[in-house]
Structure 1
Amino acid sequence: LEAGKHVLCEKPLANTVAEAEAMTEAAERAAARGQVAMVGFNYRRVPAITYARQLIAEGRLGALRHVRAAYLQDWLVDPESPLTWRLERERAGSGALGDLGAHIVDLAQYLAGEPLVGVSAVSETFVRERPRLAGPSAGLSGAADTGALGAVTVDDAALFTGRLASGALASFEATRMAAGRKNALRLEINGERGSLAFDLERLNELSFHDHTEPAATAGFRRILVTEPRHPYLEAWWPPGHALGYEHTFVHQARDLVRTIAEGTAPAPSFADGLQVQRVLAAVEESAEKNSVHTPVVL
């Protein structure tokens, strides 16, 4: 940012609200010079998610009642899994909360079109010591043959409830200890007129229920999001030809380039990333205070 380059980050590269605020201020200064800074949050760029946002913005669900989000993985179930950098607070900031929870918090606020204003949380570290690595590792695992144990200083799992600005209720679960779940990101949004559901393991599909239809024929129906009229799909394959996880990164790069070319405001901005960081900070504070309801600083 200070070097005057356009920047795209996967998630806010900050461990604290103060660091996120500093990055947001740097992004604002860069914008004044004509540079663009955007947070990727690549799951927004899954065509089915983007289309779900369009349907909600069009009022197809009516007033929102519930947002339900879970992101489940299992790569830490084995207590012999080594102590990588992701398990050290000074380097990772937090555990499942920041790694996985950041994504579902952003998706909840993006789909609803409004922020979370308060949370109540619990978190737990189930395995408090793990084998130290023999050498550096940038991935999820590595060779743990030193025989020494090191302290795990982040959460293994975090669960919290929240309230959106409109009064809609939300629930979240983020864990890296759900045996059998590899990358299970699931969302459901319920409104007065209908519901939408999404499963990342079937990322080309949405489940949609129109509650205004007669009860005798109403129910969830599958929408295959591969038509040229769907978001991003005009650039890809014929209808019915599925996209993959990697396409979300192509889409976020395309959106950054388009933002630069058109001179429009980036989305999600670093300010959006800061808002997610403030939610995570409120979750941590609530968990530390025995689940007391904690307002989110807006």
Structure 2
Amino acid sequence: MGDSKPTLGVGMVGYSFMGKAHSQAWRTVNAAYDLPYRIEMAAIGGRNEDKVRAAADSLGWRSYETDWRRIVERDDIGLVDVCTPGGNHAELAIAALEAGKHVLCEKPLANTVDEAREMVKAAEAASAKGVKSLVGFNYRRVPAAAYARQLVAAGKLGKIRQIRAVYLQDWLTDPEAPLVWRLQKELAGSGALGDIASHIVDLTQFITGQKVTGVSGLTETFIKERPILLETEGLGGSGSATERGEVTVDDASLFIARLDGGAVATYEATRFATGRKNGLRLEINGEKGSLAFDLERLNELEVYFSDDDPATQGFRRVLVTEADHPYMSAWWPPGHIIGWEHTFTHEARDLVTAIGDGSDPAPSFADGLQVQQVLEAVLASAESGSSWVPVTS
């Protein structure tokens, strides 16, 4: 990477699970791709000074801050990466955009539709001044998923008729697992719905090019109370239990949907699927073929075409590792697979490229708002018992 390229200083707020994943991306993106900027990992932010100092040292950040406002104010930072719980997204992202900083914000965009709308307004105003923003639905950046989008857009499946998508995890099956922030509505907004259903809503809409217009759903909280720890960290938590507190979000969410291109869909998201660690799977059926994707087989896409020779017809496995597959030209010879962490590098690549050439990166904050509106409609349906709730804009 030539030193003649201008520097883009990145400041990231948050240092836990997503902070580690995003740090990996910022460390590697210049080595993998020829970008218009040389990335400098200027500062990482977090409230606990001992922990954020240690994170800066271990994750490769030049400095640290204990107040996110300093990240936004610093002249050496041109891009702010928001990796905090959803309750902080709106205030932090809006402040960064108003300060003229490009913003990468983790999904879901916000905890409420109203917050997401305010973020969209700020993003649109900033865009008029050349400031870019992106919401981090990283599964769009799986090469197999991006290739699936290419197949659908090229008409290989014909008219899309039916979609089924699941996202299955099991990290909450133990009733003594602690009351971490992801189980508190004021911090997380919702449970499995916002945490993982948001991913499959965005991913299916991305691949098919269709938007959800209405839903009928239900949610369930299986464990109503959990131990409160003196100190919690990450998904599993740490510390000593002192009392029990109420779980205020859903453990599982299921819904059916209609999309604006005529497709119908089923979605299921749960953190109580015993034995499933990160089981995202989807299948899309069209008039001329089908495709299926399983995140646990990240480098593969299953495809079926109706016009194949009947004697050999069937689902085939496509190994998505060729140099002309999306994103793969930066990596290894065909057959040498990549991993989950590469999706964040691809995300960083797309945002920095858009900053350089002035294009509009996707998914935009408006796209994130639309997903938030789908989630709100699911909750409205579940809470009211209504058989059908339209997704309102």
Normalization by structure 2: what TM-score? Answer: 0.74
Q: Distance in 2 between matches of 1:156 and 1:236?
A: 37
Q: Which of the pair has more CA radius of gyration?
A: 2
Do the aligned partners of 1:123 and 1:158 also contact (CA within 8 Å) in 2?
yes
Which residue of 2 is the match for residue 194 of structure 1? 289
Give the 3-state SS of the residue equivalent to 1:278 in structure 2: helix
Do the aligned partners of 1:94 and 1:154 also contact (CA within 8 Å) in 2?
yes
Q: Distance in 2 between matches of 1:155 and 1:5?
A: 34
Cα deviation code 1:219-271 (max 9, x no counterpart): 00000000011001111100000000110000000000111111111111000
Do the aligned partners of 1:132 and 1:144 also contact (CA within 8 Å) in 2?
no
Give the 3-state SS of the residue equivalent to 1:256 in structure 2: helix
Cα deviation code 1:55-103 (max 9, x no counterpart): 0000000000111110000000000000001000011000000000110
Which residue of 1 is the match for residue 379 of structure 2? 284
Does 1:113 find its partner at 2:228? Answer: no
Which residue of 1 is the match for residue 152 of structure 2? 56
**Following superposition of structure 1 onto structure 2, how do residues 120-139 of structure 1 map, counting pairs within 5 Å?**
120-135=216-231, 137-139=232-234
Q: Distance in 2 between matches of 1:123 and 1:288?
A: 8
**Following superposition of structure 1 onto structure 2, how do residues 31-70 of structure 1 map, counting pairs within 5 Å?**
31-70=127-166
Q: Distance in 2 between matches of 1:65 and 1:144?
A: 49
Does 1:87 find its partner at 2:183? Answer: yes
The one-letter code matched in structure 2 to 1:222 is R
The more displaced of 142-151 and 94-103 is 142-151
Structure 2 gap segments, 5+ residues each: 1-96
Give the 3-state SS of the residue equivalent to 1:67 in structure 2: strand
Q: Distance in 2 between matches of 1:146 and 1:58?
A: 55
Give the 3-state SS of the residue equivalent to 2:240 in structure 1: coil
The more displaced of 5-14 and 87-96 is 5-14
What's the CA shift for 1:144? Answer: 5.3
Do the aligned partners of 2:160 and 2:285 also contact (CA within 8 Å) in 1?
yes
Does 1:255 find its partner at 2:350? Answer: yes
Q: Distance in 2 between matches of 1:203 and 1:291?
A: 37
Q: Distance in 2 between matches of 1:81 and 1:138?
A: 12
Give the root-mean-square deviation of aligned CA atoms: 1.0
Do the aligned partners of 1:24 and 1:271 also contact (CA within 8 Å) in 2?
yes
Q: Distance in 1 between matches of 2:220 and 2:244?
A: 19
1:161 is matched with which residue: 229, 233, 256?
256
Q: 1:93 to 1:119 in 2, by over 3 A?
A: same
The one-letter code matched in structure 2 to 1:233 is M
Normalization by structure 1: what TM-score? Answer: 0.98
Give the 3-state SS of the residue equivalent to 1:133 in structure 2: strand
The structure, 1 or 2, with the larger RCO (C-alpha pairs under 8 Å, 6+ apart) is 1
Aligned residues: 297
Structure 1 gap segments, 5+ residues each: none
Give the 3-state SS of the residue equivalent to 1:55 in structure 2: helix
Which residue of 1 is the match for residue 267 of structure 2? 172
The one-letter code matched in structure 1 to 2:312 is T
Which residue of 1 is the match for residue 365 of structure 2? 270
Which residue of 2 is the match for residue 97 of structure 1? 193
